[in-house]
Structure 1
């Protein structure tokens, strides 16, 4: 198992970020991953880091599918791969409806079909074996619909890629999205993952792998873990409890909470329903208190440093390929890398 660093870059001066990445590279951390929501994008910071590092892999976790056309994503992936000397990993995901529609102004419809077609077009564009022509339910290349000139023809990238197949990861939570990941992706960026519930959590992935005639090792499992270093286990739990209550219990109009579904897969259906009901009724404090200690202990890294490093050892016997920590604590990062 390898260690990764999720870089929650918030637009601060790069001098506050670069030393962390440089040290991560020095101690042998496998990869650094940029995050994207509706502030800093996931791409720009990796272009900078590509020039300031030599070995560490650079990934997006995730680039939002609705924010870019498949061709734009393919161009970005080829460029970052070239700038980094073949160290780029393309992590894609749909994001959530309120960001997709409220920020990007795109419809959040047919998510599985949209993702499947998007991945297919990106791969074809990067391979550069032929002009890209695609006639899907969501994407058509060339576009010949309403408002088109009628004169477009298929295009092939004018840039020769460093690699004609760039590793492609999907950020997936719900069972159907996870199954699609098993069918089409090289890696799975996941949340609320725990070794104790691995059989249940990976069942949709394995179903997708089987449908595509692939083997379990064909998709790298890469959980992104929340971290709360604290003097005691209880303080660490309490630091993460509000976040987990929101992830599991939030209910938006017309949208399914797939984190709630994952909590149920892990055997926490009762507490998950309680949390959701309490939040819906406006009892936020009680909802936070209802998050089980065992769920936090299993799906996050928390407490004193020795407890965190001991917990990391439990992950080493799992199917996880890369354990990605969403944290900037260098002492913790060094201890975690030493534990592996």
Structure 2
């Protein structure tokens, strides 16, 4: 079972690299970096991946609004070269609230933008060239822009959970990065939709990288209270509210995996049975360093099993 962590970003870069190294030494296979208005996720993944040999690194996830496929491709190819082929590019639609407030651009036709972005980006990461002219985007390279060195193409993943985004991701990407989607939502909605779209497009079975807030702790009640406060942010957005409801929950914190090693391991297995190919734990810093280390050690043991 492949396991990973979402690395906390409220630290200096050398400290972030140290945390990723600690997780890798515990047996965790991958480290993922969110895109904020602070650190650049692709650059951070490149730095950490170079500092921690053998660790898979990825972004979860870079919004396509306010960005261009040519520039994102350059970032991705740089990170892929820096890590020797261990970089995974996670993209997202983002939200209307953050897009319009932050970038001052309208959040219009998101599915069309995602489709065009992926259509332009795929040849860029595979061949270094593109000649795409869509309704919303143009991406053309007068000269090839391949980074020297024989490396595999950067995997393209999308933080997709709604039906239209899942169909586009299945047809054009290599997998999806659902967050706060419990086993029920995965098994009944996300996995079937993205798998059917991939099959119809003649693509391999997609990766299902399930992001799960989770902590191993001796005090589940206190940690669940902290999780309720930390995760309430996501309840403001319709896309997350929808997938929380599809998971049979009423709050984001209801989907947090919190308890002792046996409880958490059983929950991880349920995600796997629901179709997750990889399980990535987020919010592992909710209960302090001891709980974080216990969580990472368990994830490492599950990865080795």
Q: TM-score, normalised by structure 2?
A: 0.86
Note if 1:138 corresponds to 2:136. yes
The alignment covers a number of residue pairs equal to 295
Within 2, Cα distance between the matches of 1:321 and 1:308?
A: 17
Within 2, Cα distance between the matches of 1:64 and 1:194?
A: 23
- Matches of residues 94-173 of structure 1 in structure 2 within 5 Å? 94-128=93-127, 131-142=129-140, 154-157=142-145, 159-160=147-148, 162-163=150-151, 165-173=153-161
| Cα distance, 1:236 vs structure 2 | 3.2
CA 1:166–1:239: 2 relative to 1, 3 Å: same
Aligned to 2:164: 176
**Equivalent residue of 1:102, what SS?**
helix
Structure 1 moving runs of 4+ over 4 Å: 243-246
Aligned to 1:331: 294
**Equivalent residue of 2:103, what SS?**
coil
| Cα distance, 1:244 vs structure 2 | 4.9
| Cα distance, 1:267 vs structure 2 | 4.0
**Equivalent residue of 1:169, what SS?**
strand
**Equivalent residue of 1:302, what SS?**
strand
Aligned to 1:2: 2
| Cα distance, 1:88 vs structure 2 | 0.8
Equivalent in 235, 242, 246 of residue 261 of structure 1: 242
Contact 2:131 2:139 in 1 (8 A): yes
The unaligned stretches of length 5 or more in structure 1 are 143-152, 252-256, 272-290
**Equivalent residue of 1:43, what SS?**
helix
| Cα distance, 1:74 vs structure 2 | 0.7
Contact 1:135 1:141 in 2 (8 A): yes
Query: C-alpha deviations, 1:100-146, integer Å up to 9, x for none?
Result: 222223321111111111112112122226x522111111245xxxx
Contact 2:170 2:195 in 1 (8 A): yes
Within 2, Cα distance between the matches of 1:238 and 1:119?
A: 39
Contact 2:170 2:194 in 1 (8 A): yes
Contact 1:237 1:303 in 2 (8 A): no
Within 2, Cα distance between the matches of 1:6 and 1:264?
A: 23
Aligned to 2:44: 45
The unaligned stretches of length 5 or more in structure 2 are 286-291
Q: CA RMSD in A?
A: 2.5
Q: In terms of Rg, which structure is larger?
A: 1
Within 2, Cα distance between the matches of 1:52 and 1:158?
A: 24
Q: TM-score, normalised by structure 1?
A: 0.78
| Cα distance, 1:164 vs structure 2 | 5.6
Aligned to 1:247: 234
Contact 1:171 1:190 in 2 (8 A): yes
CA 1:34–1:170: 2 relative to 1, 3 Å: same
CA 1:196–1:128: 2 relative to 1, 3 Å: closer
| Cα distance, 1:89 vs structure 2 | 0.6
Note if 1:188 corresponds to 2:188. no
CA 1:50–1:264: 2 relative to 1, 3 Å: closer
Within 2, Cα distance between the matches of 1:109 and 1:219?
A: 27
| Cα distance, 1:93 vs structure 2 | 1.0
